[in-house]
Amino acid sequence: MDHQLGIGFKNTAGKWSGGGTRKVDLMATAERDGLISVWAYNRVNYRDYTRVCTYTTRVVGPTERRPMGVHSLLTKVTKAKPVIFKDPRKCNAYTSGTFIKKTGKNATVSGGVDLGVVNVSAQSGFNSSSSITWVVHKKTWLRGNSPLGWVDGALRIAEAHKY
């Protein structure tokens, strides 16, 4: 999973604003069972960089608060409104089993990061090494985004519904 995270920028007058983005690759994975229609949060490490000129006198320039890496994964989970695919041609009923989808694009989520002094942009999406797993314990509809079915569908998103 890749994160595109905002950079905070403080000008020499001390005013903070958004100032670009930086890609941070997650160098770890996390799994959590039983999550349905939720937002999952990760904790990110930020660091301040200040430009200082010292040729003749010490002049402090602007400061950037940049994302450096990921502190921890799945630190918070909150409820989200589910996406509902209503086309019955995209559904199959299953009574049990484990189903894994490893190919296709996934949803990209945009939001924000509160740096304490300014809120900056954040975007997260799944890369080619990501997969999604459904573990079915009772009769469930598994739907994809395409009449081709959840396996051949272009997206790596799907949903499970009570049968």
On the question of pLDDT at 163 being above 60, the answer is no
Whether the CB-CB separation of 114 and 108 falls below 8 Å is answered with no
Report the distance separating Cα 93 and Cα 78, nearest Å.
28
Domain spans, the chain = 2-162
Measured CA distances, 48 to 51, 153, 159 (Å)? 10, 43, 41
pLDDT at 119: 79
Report the distance separating Cα 66 and Cα 20, nearest Å.
9
Token pair recorded at residue 80: 């989200």
On the question of pLDDT at 150 being above 70, the answer is yes
Residue range 11-34, pLDDT digits in tens: 888 898 888 888 887 778 888 887
Residue range 69-115, pLDDT digits in tens: 888 888 888 888 766 666 666 677 888 899 887 766 556 666 777 78
